Amino acid sequence: MKLFIKITQHQQQAMAERSIIIRALAMPPAMAHQTTTGIRQQDQKRPVYEDIKIDTAFRKISARSIGFHVWRIQNDHVETLPKEQYGTFYDECAYVVYAASVAGTSCDKNTLSREIKTPGATIERNIHFWLGANIAPERSKAAAYKIIELDLHLDHKTTQFRESQGNEGIRFLSYFKEDGIIVHCGNDPTSTPVEPRLYQIAGNAPQRCVQQRTISWQCFNSGQIMLLQTAGIVFVWIGRVTASADRVFGIGAGKRLKERHGIAELAIVDDGYEQSMGIAQKDVWNGYLNLSKRFVKPMPLIPSAGETLLKLYQCDTVNGVFRVELVKTGALEQADLYGRDSIYIVDYFPRSIWIWIGRSSQKQNRAEAMRHVRGYVIKKGYPASTPVGRVIDGLEPAEFVALFPAWTSADINGNSVKGTVSEKFDALTLIQRPRLAARIQLIDDGCGDITVYQIGLDEVKEIPAKFAKTFYSGHCYVVHYQVACSTEHTNGSLPNSIRNVLYLWCGLNAPPEHRTIGDAFLVELSDHLKRNVVQVRISEGMEPPHFLQIFKGALIVLNAQEACLEQQGVLDIRHYPTSFVLKVVGNTSYSCKAVQVSSKTLYYPEDCYILKAPDNEVWIWCGQYSTGDSREMAKSIASNLGEYNLVMESNETDEFFNSVGEKFLSQLKKTTVAGNIILPPAVGGQTVSQTWDRAVIALYHCLLLPDVGSPTLRQIYGFTQQDLRPDGVFLLDAGSIVYVWIGEQTTPEEKGQGWELAKQLITTHPVQRDPAMPVAIVRQGEEPITFVGFFDTWDNKYYQTCVLYENLRMEIDGAAAGRTGAPIPAARSSVRSDDGSGDDFDRYQKYPLDMLRCGGDATQLPASINPTRKEVHLTHDDFVTVFNMTYHEFEELPKWKQVELKKQRKLF
């Protein structure tokens, strides 16, 4: 079977795509012949689908069981690995990993196998095949055949992932979160000696411990953790530009190697301080990595991901030829995947390539899907390591669903899966059920005290309670809400550990100056309250449920603004416009508000409207298809404007028409033509179901390291509270709101970047997001239940025993000092800045001595180096060698003496 790419001529947006494919196909004849021959040979070796025999090891897996299994490919069969070997891989081997769990729950290497007898329970089945970096082609092909066998045994109701060493997906890595994965050289324990070995810590969430093929300084860079395993010592080398979480993992990996091989000692070595090791340790280290030849490269720059464009291709097989046709570029919708027997490829290069199979497609197509999508990757010229996956209609995983702005879940039979949410909530119920609170985003029932401040250019003015429910689109407001209920659980935990919520509401027409002043006042008020505070930024039209709840669903947003209402930049809210029309949006206290609409707005018989007439009469007009809940909310809002009159569509009185005029009636007639009702567009932002869509809830770890450009966001799959480390900043993307969680041990620089980090996440998300969506700042120990509820379990006492890098370092160095009698060395902190503003020697990027001297030509230096202060970019060891003193001793010298010494050493 050949792979054929069909190019459409009629789509202008596909022109660039077409040229790429043509170039991929226009390879030299010899190369084309080799490629075609390779495919034909593979076809000849492929088993006939009907004759596939399922491996004996796979037959033991029950389709109705959950569990976790790992097999290693051995020629024509698979070897079942014992549990203690889970997470250990060899770079010349291929593995099949099977993870099955009940839908909505996570799975890892500790998941116990058991039968699921609950009627209607959905089981998510994921097959991963992992390929080592040095695997032989025969083993790679055998792995591809074996997943077809396992998939066939499970009736093709699985999701498949291709994992290559160093490019593993977040779901695969989450299975081994406890200890990470370790990759050895060779194909079994006898292929390489136990020592010496050099490992590099790479990746994230969790990290990977990968054995290097050579023991050389060329493997080192300042952004990595390295492990040197010798017969008597395991050295943990800490790169100076590494995150605290990486350091903790590195020490843990070193301890595991020490215990596994019975090695006597664990030693920590700081980048640039290698000469500070004890004499015995230095002798061992020099035996493998001579310090006189030390060369540590700076941390490599992380390339910008750039703009990643989604592309959708429709696929079919005609006369044995697999055809691919581009049908859409840009944002995708679930409706684009139509046809129960259709096949589509979703191209999100370089992050992932997916092939989607309709639920009624032939089993042959399901079995061949991974081969087809791999052929697509080859034809496009993408790297062989590009992640690919196969999904079945009705069994889409979260990573795939996250590429679509809205997704209606359905089972494999096409039946929609819908959740139900109760409409009535009280504060105590929400406190006792954080999961429910998170689902509907309600901290309490809104019965706490509220203070509203209006932001002006020259002052911030508190608004009297009588007028506090009316906002104007041209202004910003700060709302201080004091939480109504915070009852402790019987086990002592306090899920609602906040007392104050500060909202900054910005109108769509508010000038930038008002927004800036509002930001400053928000911070000032938060500092005044000191503790138990959550800050939330929201924009008009994107109000979260709790914000609407504290106004009891009676918030009024006016866009009219007359000059006479302005008094020194602060609006006099005691005077309303002479007349206006409000559309009632929502039908519950946590989803309802009234928004001013213009005379040109279409009116719909499904809605309720509040009209303030020129004669000061207040009317509620209810469309004939409006609900009772909507009418009740309209009454609640209208009561704030005075006495009101209610009229129903088709039963309007002469008094109503005389009061409101003909404009409203003429617009109403435009919406009902020949009895056909024009359905209103969706309003009010995200719905409750979208807020709780598991596919869009994600946790990200923010890394703020120097010389890497913008902050890096690492997604953590299957997140738990333990992933929130006190020395880090994390983003919880809940779909309709982004929470920025700030640990207690973070630096002031990190704490001040919360809003910008959230903005970065929103703008780089694969699905187009509204940049004005709400963002909340949450501090460790002050988490609202609307945040806590996204975690399966939460323990407020967890952080009292959480182990940090500094604690581990003191424990290990203290044990070493006890053996040798030497003083405990100070732990080297990670680098935070390189702007030259500080005097902390360790905060500067380090470069080799020869590079800094550079023959006296300052133009050859990196831009970040100040030519008059080259000495701060030396490592500690190089500094001592060059100047015969420490940096701090050097700093105590007179400036003229420092300059003279630097000139003598060719560093000025």
Q: What is the pLDDT of residues 201-218, one digit of tens each?
A: 987 768 899 999 999 999
Four-CA torsion 536, 537, 542, 546, nearest 10 degrees: 20
Q: Is the pLDDT of residue 40 over 70?
A: no
Token pair recorded at residue 9 = 């001529």
DSSP of 172-202, one letter per residue?
HHHTTTTT-EEEESSSSTTSS-SSSEEEEEE
Q: Give me the pLDDT at residue 688, please.
A: 38
Q: Give me the pLDDT at residue 90, please.
A: 96
Residue that is written with structure tokens 């790419």 in the block: 5
Q: Give me the pLDDT at residue 561, please.
A: 54
Which of 186-195, 471-480, 482-491 has the weakest average pLDDT? 482-491
Residue, of 492 and 250, whose pLDDT is higher: 250
Q: How many CA atoms lie within 13 A of 21 on its CB side?
A: 18
Contact assessment for residue 498 and residue 430, using Cβ atoms and an 8 Å cutoff: no
Which of 440-444, 691-695, 883-887 has the weakest average pLDDT? 691-695
Count Cβ atoms within 10 A of the Cβ of residue 226 and give its class: 0-12 exposed, 13-18 middle, 19 or more buried.
buried
Look at residue 418 and give its three-state secondary structure: coil
Per-chain mean pLDDT for the chain: 81
Q: Give me the pLDDT at residue 572, please.
A: 54
Question: What percentage of the chain reaches a pLDDT higher than 70?
Answer: 80
Stated as kind and residue range, the H or E segment containing 516 is: helix 512-529
**269-298 tens-digit pLDDT:** 999 999 989 999 999 999 999 999 998 888
Residue, of 7 and 479, whose pLDDT is higher: 479
Q: Give me the pLDDT at residue 88, please.
A: 95
Question: What percentage of the chain reaches a pLDDT higher than 90?
Answer: 42
The span from the CA of 297 to the CA of 300, in Å, is 8
**834-868 tens-digit pLDDT:** 333 335 788 788 888 888 887 556 677 777 788 88
Average pLDDT over every residue of 641-655: 88
Cα separation values, 572 from 222, 432, 522, 616, 659, Å: 59, 42, 22, 18, 26
Nearest by Cα to 827 from 423, 271, 368, 442: 271
Q: Is the pLDDT of residue 9 over 90?
A: no
Long-range contacts of 187-193 (CB under 8 A, 24+ apart): 187/90, 187/92, 187/93, 188/90, 191/90, 191/92
Give the confidence band of 182 by pLDDT, cuts at 50, 70, 90. very high
**303-318 tens-digit pLDDT:** 555 567 899 999 988 8
Encoded amino acid at 843, one letter: R
The span from the CA of 341 to the CA of 718, in Å, is 32
Residue, of 679 and 41, whose pLDDT is higher: 679
Residue that is written with structure tokens 């800490």 in the block: 238
Average pLDDT over every residue of 351-371: 90
Q: Is the pLDDT of residue 13 over 60?
A: no
**786-826 tens-digit pLDDT:** 999 999 889 888 988 888 888 888 888 777 666 655 555 55
In the chain the domains, ranked by start, together with CATH numbers, are: 58-177 (3.40.20.10), 197-293 (3.40.20.10), 311-402 (3.40.20.10), 576-671 (3.40.20.10), 698-800 (3.40.20.10), 838-907 (1.10.950.10)
Average pLDDT over every residue of 94-120: 90
Token pair recorded at residue 693 = 């869509």
**596-611 tens-digit pLDDT:** 987 667 777 888 999 8
Average pLDDT over every residue of 408-423: 55
Q: Is the pLDDT of residue 230 over 90?
A: yes
Q: Is the pLDDT of residue 677 over 70?
A: no
Q: Where would I find the H helices in 56-213?
A: 56-59, 137-153, 170-174
Nearest by Cα to 222 from 169, 149, 328, 299: 299
**737-774 tens-digit pLDDT:** 999 999 998 888 888 888 888 888 888 887 777 888 89
Q: Give me the pLDDT at residue 703, please.
A: 79
Q: Give me the pLDDT at residue 259, please.
A: 94
Encoded amino acid at 534, one letter: V
Which of 44-48, 180-184, 674-678, 820-824 has the weakest average pLDDT? 674-678
Residue, of 361 and 40, whose pLDDT is higher: 361
Count Cβ atoms within 10 A of the Cβ of residue 550 and give its class: 0-12 exposed, 13-18 middle, 19 or more buried.
buried
Contact assessment for residue 796 and residue 494, using Cβ atoms and an 8 Å cutoff: yes
Q: Give me the pLDDT at residue 68, please.
A: 96
Give the confidence band of 76 by pLDDT, cuts at 50, 70, 90. confident
Token pair recorded at residue 178 = 């406890």
